[in-house]
Structure 1
């Protein structure tokens, strides 16, 4: 990674109050000195109350993230089911056209038999006085029998196909309706959790909000410091692939855009919407949700990760960010926040996956 990219990351992480630990692994975490912030007068008791608020907010937003993954998964399934229903409808139309053509052929064969007096070909041959005509007729009879059997078989198969299309379409409609209900339930839960979090924050005074933000920064900084103190950054030396560089370029270009649950850009994103669109822009489709990204993409050791890899967070894989190098990720954090750069170890890491393995 060039010095320009390193400068960009360092500057962004500085804004996130984490440049010290990102640039100098092993630096001890320190609480800001008294007088260094507007909330320096807050008491331990007040901070304890705010920590309880922070824990409550974390839980509310985590539950909203779980519901968002459920919503995104249901939406992805619904999109696939809708596409399958459209495809079945096309097959049904083509199958009906084919059936109509086969019925016309069967009708023409029946009309020809009627014109010959209704006698079977075998009887007509026996009445013939010309041996050659008999032999030619025998060949035509065999061909006709094979054609008739083939026509009947094709008619039967086409009718069976149409019946199966109708059965499949009915099943798809049921699945689609189930996923619509799942989406509605997830949407309701998301709104409920976010609304509760916003109401909780709205009850705080301005100075309390500032102090709460400071406590959040300190918690992230402490986690990042502990992660770097393990020496992990000394082992991470992987170089980005060509597509990985494209994905990183796309993701970092979205910095500053708002988080919105269920969004995939271009104006707003949720966490997996950002990572999936970044890789789609790089020409490589990946699963839509963080949980499916964790399930389906190749797992790699943290020490082997490279820019473009996805870092999956929390025990239930409900958050994801993209590693961009120098111990940092770019991610869409949560409602009320914007796409930003932060320390890769600032949240509990579940593991790392590689989209273009």
Structure 2
């Protein structure tokens, strides 16, 4: 449904007016799509940044332990050096053995000396190993910190880009009259209904009424997502007060005990793909060629989703956006014997924003 084109002039009535509204809707949907693409890029960078921060913390802690161990090894090596210097006579153990009045006692002393020598060698070895480990960890920590700073800068640029695109959306909406906004909402609703009818008629969703049962985890994910209906969309949000599209789906499956990737692109790339004819509640429906939007299937050709800025989490037809495909977070999950869909309360009506 999203398309390019400039903003047209004219009213909402007549052939020319309808075309003008169509141009407006296409422009608005293009802007929304750009916002969502930027949002998912930001989410992906934030996820990388989160992992890198954890890696930096882990390396810092390991480096601190290595330095403490190195400090202890250096202290032990220093004590051995002082003992060796203070106990040195300049006479080799062999000469002392020949000159000893009690050769057996000298031999016993030789064993002690040998053991001390081995301990010294082990201490020196630990010292050298500790120095190598500390140096290696310091290099890794510096590299991880550099990566963290790079990712933080990228996230800032992506966040600023999303805000600029949101400003473009707000500017376009502010330029429209109440009649134009109403016409846009009606035209979008009509387009969704036509797309849904076409999808159902094609048999892509399987036979009518052929709804499958979810797995136990899928049911939990569905119930979580449905409980969020009415909460506002907010880009980059993962709940509990607001969500973006992939924030809703990832949190729902996380609460079901099955962590999934944070972004819609990663959900599409890493989760098991299934045909639409095999959809069951809890499966994820991915939208647009770039996989920049995601919703959760409820059954009966409906999904629950966090649609876009200005709207709330709600239930829509599956064809509310152009469908790319579907994925299943728990491909090994067995369907429930009995399933009672959760009651769904629809979110308050919103306009095209």
- What's the TM-score once normalised by structure 2's chain length? 0.85
Within 2, Cα distance between the matches of 1:261 and 1:330? 17
Q: Is the 8 A contact 1:61 1:334 kept in 2?
A: yes
Within 2, Cα distance between the matches of 1:41 and 1:181? 44
Within 2, Cα distance between the matches of 1:126 and 1:48? 113
Unaligned runs of 5+ in 1: 1-39
Residues 206 and 296 of structure 1: CA distance in aligned 2, closer, same or farther (over 3 Å): same
Shift of 1:121: 7.1
Matches within 5 A, 1:182-261: 182-235=154-207, 237-261=211-235
Cα-to-partner distance string for 1:87-128 (whole Å, 9 max, x where unaligned): 111111111110111112112212222332355873555554
Q: Whose helix proportion is higher, 1 or 2?
A: 1
Matches within 5 A, 1:82-161: 82-117=53-88, 119=90, 122=93, 124-125=96-97, 127-161=99-133
Within 2, Cα distance between the matches of 1:158 and 1:106? 12
Shift of 1:41: 7.4
Residues 61 and 107 of structure 1: CA distance in aligned 2, closer, same or farther (over 3 Å): same
Within 2, Cα distance between the matches of 1:125 and 1:110? 24
Within 1, Cα distance between the matches of 2:90 and 2:26? 91
For 1:48, the equivalent position in structure 2 comes to 19
Q: Is the 8 A contact 1:113 1:120 kept in 2?
A: no
Corresponding residue pairs, total: 318
- What's the TM-score once normalised by structure 1's chain length? 0.84
Aligned with 1:185: secondary structure? helix
* CA RMSD across the alignment: 1.9
Residues 146 and 290 of structure 1: CA distance in aligned 2, closer, same or farther (over 3 Å): same
Residues 63 and 243 of structure 1: CA distance in aligned 2, closer, same or farther (over 3 Å): same
Cα-to-partner distance string for 1:177-205 (whole Å, 9 max, x where unaligned): 11111111111111111111111111111
Kindly indicate whether structure 1 or structure 2 has the higher relative contact order, using CA contacts under 8 Å at least 6 residues apart: 1
